[in-house]
Structure 1
Amino acid sequence: MTPVSLSQYDCIFFDFDGVIADSVDAKITAFGELYDEFGPEVRRAVEDYQRAVPGETRFDKIPRFHREHLGIALSEAEIAQWCDKLSSIVLDEVVNSALLPDVPEVLAMLERQNIQAHIVSGTPHDELQIIVDRKGLAPFFRTARGAPEKKASIVRDIMATEGLTASQCLFVGDAMTDFNCAQQCDMAFLGRSEPFGNPFPTGTCVVQRLGEYFLSDNWNGAAGSANQNRAA
């Protein structure tokens, strides 16, 4: 579902990595370091998957990597241990990552217009709280929720709690997991993509900078930029 005028929305759901923070590369490197002891081929395969599927939670990725590349089936306790190990590698890197262009201005504008903003991330929930707090972002978001709860479940719960309908909400993400969440919740979706790689289906509205939509006086102008991004 294509976004319409911002004035139609009372609530914006944001993914975090690659939408709010420029932290996608930090996550790729961290996953590589996590599996470095198993050799360069495994590390490269893990990094390639993380690059291709950034939105999938580590609670799903780590058992997948162990199963497919190491032939090891992890127990729930072992998955938790490996997730904690990844957190110890990546937390400071994400905290120290820059906000993406236009993000401070967009968040300030949403606050002025009393439009709710929520983070819905594949990052573990407790880790996400630390990141949001240490980056000074907590005042701008009504909630920040993460894994292992699935994104669609989080979104539906927030809509029910806040008394919102899907038509009042917009989801902004950089991965197909975000696009799929918006579809599952029957709400509009705005993609954010780098110039060199748009992961979304043809016809998806995509911008490189959030300001192309949120800070534009003319929605048609933002849509035009999105069309150019799709063709790039």
Structure 2
Amino acid sequence: MSKIDLTQYQTLIFDCDGVILNSNKIKTQAFYDVAKDYGHKPAQILKDYHIQNGGISRYKKFEYLLTNILQKPIETQELNKLLSNFSKEIKKELLICEVAKNIKELRDKTRNTKWLIVSGGDQDELREVFEQRGLGGYFDGGIFGSPDDKDTILKREKNKENITGKSLFIGDSMYDYQVSIALDMDFIFLTAWTDFYKWEDYFKGKYIQSFKSLPELISL
């Protein structure tokens, strides 16, 4: 394992699911449960699509369910019902799921660095969950999520100079890697809670560092 000096960064950007919260499996099951009213097959296809497209917002995934899997036009009322049911499915679990250990120690180690959350999760939901779990105060740069996608959020926050200087994105999906590299950010991949099961094959030959979880970064 190579050492990395986190204090060299002016900005640290964290994904939420699979990085701060052990919540990937919660959301994977919720996609299936919400879609199962359409039948097992559409629900399973959506679940598989979700796993293959980690980090993409639920808005895009339920649009995919309607237009690609069910091959029907998007009706706002139906889409909103799916989104509402999904939020209800996961909300309680997000308030009790495992949180990455030693976040305070990592924050203390990088006290001169701005922290942001940039997630595919719903922004209002994220902010409420982080506040209730006592995590919101660590992220002085803000907590951001869907309906905007990560690429849009990162570009916007860079343009606003909320993301400045040398930046590091800590994520657990292929999409996290792609958006960070496209915006000339360094990237660390966390393996312990990811549901990107072919990550070793995907990253082979690419210059990235991987660690099991956030606590490993504290000892570096």
Which residue pairs with 2:181 in the alignment?
183
Report whether the alignment pairs 1:207 with 2:211.
yes
Which residue pairs with 2:152 in the alignment?
153
Q: Which has the higher helix share?
A: 1
Task: Report the CA distance between 1:211 and its aligned residue.
Answer: 2.7
Matches of 1:79 and 1:109 in 2, distance apart? 43
Q: Using CA pairs below 8 Å that are at least 6 residues apart, which structure has the higher relative contact order? A: 2
Matches of 2:68 and 2:3 in 1, distance apart? 38
Letter in 2 for 1:201: F
Q: Tell me, what secondary structure is at the counterpart of 1:35?
A: helix
Task: Report the CA distance between 1:198 and its aligned residue.
Answer: 4.7
Q: Tell me, what secondary structure is at the counterpart of 2:19?
A: coil
Identity %: 25
Where structure 1 has 5 or more consecutive residues not aligned to the other structure, the ranges are: 218-232
Contact 1:121 1:147 in 2 (8 A): yes
- Please provide the CA RMSD for this pair: 2.3
After superposition, what is the alpha-carbon deviation per residue over 1:170-204, rounded to whole angstroms, capped at 9, x for unaligned?
00111111111101211101111238935242232
Which residue pairs with 1:136 in the alignment?
134
Which residue pairs with 1:11 in the alignment?
11
Question: Which residue of 118, 121, 124 maps to 1:123?
Answer: 121
Matches of 2:86 and 2:169 in 1, distance apart? 27
Q: Tell me, what secondary structure is at the counterpart of 2:32?
A: helix
1:101-112 pair list within 5 angstroms: 101-110=101-110
Letter in 1 for 2:169: F
Task: Report the CA distance between 1:102 and its aligned residue.
Answer: 4.0
**TM-score of the pair, normalised by structure 2:** 0.86
Task: Report the CA distance between 1:169 and its aligned residue.
Answer: 0.7
After superposition, what is the alpha-carbon deviation per residue over 1:109-144, rounded to whole angstroms, capped at 9, x for unaligned?
33xx22111000111111111111111111101100
Contact 1:3 1:170 in 2 (8 A): no
Task: Report the CA distance between 1:35 and its aligned residue.
Answer: 1.0
Task: Report the CA distance between 1:104 and its aligned residue.
Answer: 4.4
Which residue pairs with 2:98 in the alignment?
98
Return closer, same or farther for 1:108/1:31 CA change in 2, 3 Å cut-off. farther
Contact 1:42 1:69 in 2 (8 A): yes
Letter in 1 for 2:92: D
Task: Report the CA distance between 1:152 and its aligned residue.
Answer: 2.2
Matches of 2:79 and 2:43 in 1, distance apart? 18
